[in-house]
């Protein structure tokens, strides 16, 4: 037998690769944020100094929970894209410490320079990996992640200022939408191949158009409403066409790919509703994305990556199906039932919060033993 290659890290398996600690932290944040937000929204809990309750809620959803997911995904995926080892060990521990420090300092002191430390660190870590391995890069459009991670810093600054809060939320959503558009393009073909042995038809011109439209919309918070609506509808039409071309109806037969498509259609719905405008209860277009797209896709993504990258077969068993069902309940309560029966707003928000929290409690409980141990197939990472 050939000799076993030397291990780059001989410490605890949690620090082998980015998804291990950050997906665990994402599940923790996902479970805790909704009840804290309900207490804050009801007036039972005061927001951090200098921040309105909605600012804290948006910041922690996008830059606490969301950035834990994004960091775990990019620190893991980027090393595979450029065929390098990636960040691990002490470097990874430092990034986790910055995420925890940011959560504490934002809660204690509100906005300030401390709120940018983790975002800057992730930007540097991911871009260093992509630049270092650029000669072996599997994708020509990874520059989009350079744009997104850099622009997130400005989006956070806008979001944490009361006068520019709405622009900050719109910019942050547009950046996450760009990330999800790229991620769905890369992941749906192999997912459908694994689930149904289907080779999805790629139309390069359509792929390029979708990414260019999503990129253009990053600056749309400052466009005239008619221009933003036009591009949003164009992107919605292009995405819908690609989902249908990629056998969306058939995908609904398997829960692990069905939620990816449903989350994608929620993204389309956000674009259409935002373009059309209207008096929706509770910021419907925004929450169709945060609860519908992020809420449905992220738990499935955490499950799939934590299984595949620890050497286990990718199977969604009863607990994962239950968790996704609870998230589906949260989506229904927050987006549909709230519009139909707004008199019961508190009840629907409570149902949505419980469904979201329970989903991430289950996913976290299932994920924890995997990330706490070494790969079952003997590989290091």
Per the domain annotation, does 330 fall within a domain? yes
Q: What's the pLDDT score for residue 333?
A: 96
Residue 47 backbone class (left: φ over 0; alpha: ψ -120 to 50; beta: rest): beta
Cα separation, 164 vs 155, whole angstroms: 10
Cα separation, 189 vs 185, whole angstroms: 7
Cα separation, 166 vs 221, whole angstroms: 9
Per the domain annotation, does 8 fall within a domain? no
Per the domain annotation, does 125 fall within a domain? yes
Residue 157 tokens read as 């600054």
Report the domain count for the chain.
1
Report residue 356: phi and psi, to 5°: -60, -50
Q: What is the CATH number of the domain that holds 139?
A: 1.20.210.10
Cα separation, 224 vs 202, whole angstroms: 33
Cα separation, 221 vs 170, whole angstroms: 6
Cα separation, 55 vs 215, whole angstroms: 25
Per the domain annotation, does 3 fall within a domain? no
Q: What's the pLDDT score for residue 2?
A: 46
Per the domain annotation, does 96 fall within a domain? yes
Q: Could you read off the pLDDT tens digit of each residue along the chain, which spans 381 residues? A: 444 556 777 889 999 999 999 999 999 999 999 999 988 988 889 999 999 999 999 999 999 999 999 999 999 988 888 888 888 899 999 999 999 999 999 999 988 888 888 999 999 999 888 888 778 777 778 888 888 889 999 999 999 999 999 999 999 999 999 999 999 999 999 999 999 999 999 999 999 999 999 999 999 999 999 999 999 999 999 999 999 999 999 999 999 999 999 999 999 999 999 999 888 887 999 999 999 999 999 999 999 999 999 999 999 999 999 999 999 999 999 999 999 999 999 899 999 999 999 999 999 999 999 999 999 988 888
Give the contacts of 304 (CB within 8 A, at least 6 positions apart): 191, 256, 314
| Start-end of H helices in 19-110 | 19-41, 53-59, 66-81, 89-109
Q: Which domain holds residue 216?
A: 13-372
User: pTM for the complete prediction?
Assistant: 0.95
End-to-end alpha carbon distance in the chain: 21
Per the domain annotation, does 287 fall within a domain? yes
């Amino acid at each position: 037998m050939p000799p076993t290659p030397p291990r780059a890290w001989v410490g605890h398996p949690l620090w082998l690769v980015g998804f291990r600690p950050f997906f665990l932290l994402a599940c923790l944040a996902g479970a805790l944020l909704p009840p804290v937000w309900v207490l804050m929204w009801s007036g039972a809990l005061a927001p951090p100094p200098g921040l309105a309750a909605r600012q804290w809620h948006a910041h922690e959803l996008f830059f606490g929970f969301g950035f834990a997911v994004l960091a775990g995904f990019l620190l893991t995926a980027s090393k595979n894209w450029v065929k390098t080892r990636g960040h691990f060990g002490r470097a990874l521990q430092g990034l986790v410490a910055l995420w925890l420090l940011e959560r504490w300092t934002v809660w204690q002191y509100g906005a300030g320079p401390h709120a940018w430390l983790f975002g800057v660190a992730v930007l540097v870590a991911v871009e260093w990996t992509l630049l270092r391995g650029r000669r072996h890069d599997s994708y020509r459009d990874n520059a989009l992640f350079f744009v997104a991670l850099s622009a997130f810093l400005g989006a956070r600054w806008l979001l944490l200022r009361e006068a520019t809060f709405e622009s900050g939320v719109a910019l942050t959503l547009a950046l996450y939408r760009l990330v999800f558009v790229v991620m769905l393009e890369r992941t749906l073909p192999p997912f459908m191949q694994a689930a149904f042995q289907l080779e999805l038809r790629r139309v390069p011109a359509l792929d390029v158009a979708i990414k260019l439209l999503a990129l253009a919309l990053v600056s749309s918070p400052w466009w005239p409403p008619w221009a933003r609506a036009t591009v949003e509808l164009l992107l919605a039409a292009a995405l819908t066409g690609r989902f249908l071309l990629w056998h969306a109806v058939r995908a609904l037969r398997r829960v692990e790919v069905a939620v990816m498509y449903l989350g994608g259609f929620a993204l389309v719905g956000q674009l259409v509703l935002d373009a059309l405008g209207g008096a929706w209860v509770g910021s419907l277009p925004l929450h169709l994305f945060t609860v519908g797209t992020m809420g449905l896709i992220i738990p499935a993504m955490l499950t799939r990556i934590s299984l595949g990258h620890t050497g286990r077969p990718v199977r969604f068993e009863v607990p994962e199906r239950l968790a996704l069902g609870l998230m589906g309940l949260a989506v229904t309560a927050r987006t549909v039932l709230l519009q139909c029966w707004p008199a019961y707003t508190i009840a629907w928000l409570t149902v949505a919060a419980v469904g979201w929290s329970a989903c991430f409690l289950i996913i976290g409980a299932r994920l924890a033993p995997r990330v706490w141990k070494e790969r079952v197939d003997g590989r290091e990472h």
